[in-house]
């Protein structure tokens, strides 16, 4: 019954996502597309933070690697789909290379190392202008053309992004339910027990980090044809923080958390236009309040309300269940 309901909900959301841009202008469609793109980035970070319990502040730099790689290749005449492969591979490899030393340390140390990495990537993008265009960035990336349909139109590009998001989400769905996806959860719930049962914690954490980074790269590869202009400032540390807050606000460790969180972060400013400059002040204050009262994010809040009104399902009292931030 529960499974049936959740499939119905997913189908309903998908229909909504398909219907959303119909009759809307280019700007709204653009905002919706960037919601999808950031959902992908947040989904990747959710794997690292929510499932494997490692805080990473480098997601924007992986977006940068994906964006610049695909932009340079498409500008050189490659098709976007062809450029995607090296972009994702590069992110995966960089994720492994960064994660291998960085995951020797945990928690706050990892936050600093990834923060440092993001700043380094930013500096390289800004200073190596023979490759990246420096502060002026790169512009005029062509959008992918599939012969029978071109994505130059905003609506077509939205559906193209939606298709990619669905594929990426399906792969993530499979990852978190595969044997080593369950390993991530075991690691989060009880690392000592996980290790004693033969889960190679270090290897799967590293893999989670690298796969999460690859999702960041995918989001970056979508940003460059969406905006058709990229510059180092779009991938600064502040943006990593923004993606991290998406994951936390939505609910770290919940599959749909990133979509909700990205929706809040991307769409709320549009709704709160009237607050003008105070938007970020209100938002950050709300995040602090949320962490005080419901550290499991908006989805966690929903679960809390549901438990209060419909009663809590009885589980073994000695097992702490469900996603939570460490």
Partner 1 sequence: MSQFLQVLLSGLATGSIYALVAIGFTLVWQAAQTVNFAQGEFVMVPAFFVLVGTNILGFPLALSLGLALLLAIALLGAVFKKLVVDPILPSGGISLIIATMALGILLRESVKEFYGAEAQPFPAMFPTNPINVFGAVVSMQDMLNLLISLAVVVVLTLFLNRTRTGRSMQAAAQNPAVAEILGVNVKRMVMYAFLINAALAALASFLITPVYLAKFSNGETLGLVAFIAAIVGGFNQIRGALVGGLLIGVLDNLVATYVTAEYRAALPLILLIFIILVRPQGIMGTSEGRAV
**Residues making contact with partner 1 (CB under 8 A):** 49, 53, 55, 101-102, 104-109, 111-113, 115-117, 119-120, 123, 127, 191-192, 195, 201, 237, 241, 244-245, 248, 277-278, 280-281, 283-285, 287-288, 291-292, 295, 324-326
Residue nearer to partner 1 on the CB measure, 162 or 265: 265
Residue nearer to partner 1 on the CB measure, 107 or 171: 107
Residue nearer to partner 1 on the CB measure, 155 or 324: 324
Residue nearer to partner 1 on the CB measure, 56 or 70: 56
Q: Tokens for 181?
A: 């996806």
Phi, psi of 229 (to 5 degrees): -160, 125
Q: Cα–Cα distance between 161 and 157 in angstroms, integer?
A: 6
Contact 71, 141 (CB under 8 A): yes
Q: Find the shortest distance in angstroms from Cβ 25 to partner 1.
A: 29
Q: Find the shortest distance in angstroms from Cβ 88 to partner 1.
A: 24
End-to-end CA distance of the chain: 32
Contact 265, 290 (CB under 8 A): no
Task: Point out which residues pair with 139 in neighbouring strands.
Answer: 229
In sequence order, the 6+-apart residues with CB closer than 8 A to the CB of 256 are: 250, 299
Q: Find the shortest distance in angstroms from Cβ 201 to partner 1.
A: 7
Residue nearer to partner 1 on the CB measure, 142 or 191: 191
Q: Find the shortest distance in angstroms from Cβ 231 to partner 1.
A: 17
Residue nearer to partner 1 on the CB measure, 73 or 237: 237
Contact 38, 227 (CB under 8 A): no
Contact 187, 204 (CB under 8 A): yes
Q: Find the shortest distance in angstroms from Cβ 113 to partner 1.
A: 6
Q: Find the shortest distance in angstroms from Cβ 26 to partner 1.
A: 29
What's the helix, strand, coil split of the chain in %, to 5? 75, 0, 20
């Amino acid at each position: 019954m529960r499974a049936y309901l959740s499939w119905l909900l997913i189908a309903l959301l998908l229909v909504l996502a398909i219907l959303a841009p119909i009759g809307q202008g280019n700007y709204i469609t653009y905002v919706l597309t960037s919601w999808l793109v950031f959902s992908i980035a947040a989904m990747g970070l959710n794997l690292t933070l929510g499932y494997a319990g490692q805080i990473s502040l480098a997601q924007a730099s992986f977006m940068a690697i994906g964006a610049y790689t695909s932009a340079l290749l498409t500008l050189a005449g490659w098709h976007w789909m062809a450029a995607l492969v090296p972009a994702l591979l590069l992110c995966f490899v960089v994720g492994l290379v960064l994660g291998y030393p960085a995951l020797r340390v945990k928690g706050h140390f990892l936050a600093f190392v990834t923060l440092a990495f993001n700043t380094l990537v930013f500096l390289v993008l800004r200073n190596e202008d023979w490759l990246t265009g420096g502060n002026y960035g790169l512009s005029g990336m062509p959008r992918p053309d599939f012969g029978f349909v071109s994505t130059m139109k905003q609506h077509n590009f939205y559906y193209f992004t939606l298709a990619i998001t669905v594929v990426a989400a399906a792969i993530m769905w499979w990852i978190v339910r595969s044997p080593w996806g369950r390993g991530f959860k075991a690691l989060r719930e009880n690392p000592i027990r996980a290790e004693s049962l033969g889960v190679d914690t270090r290897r799967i954490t590293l893999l989670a980090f690298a796969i999460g980074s690859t999702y960041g790269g995918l989001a970056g590869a979508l940003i460059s044809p969406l905006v058709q202009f990229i510059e180092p400032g779009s991938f600064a540390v502040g943006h990593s923080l923004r993606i991290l807050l998406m994951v936390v606000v939505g609910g770290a460790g919940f599959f749909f958390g990133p979509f909700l969180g990205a929706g809040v972060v991307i769409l709320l400013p549009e709704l709160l236009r009237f607050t003008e400059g105070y938007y970020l002040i209100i938002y950050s204050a709300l995040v602090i309040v949320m962490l005080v009262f419901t550290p499991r994010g908006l989805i966690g809040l929903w679960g809390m309300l549901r438990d209060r009104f419909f009663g809590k399902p009885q589980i073994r009292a000695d097992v702490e269940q469900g996603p939570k931030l460490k």
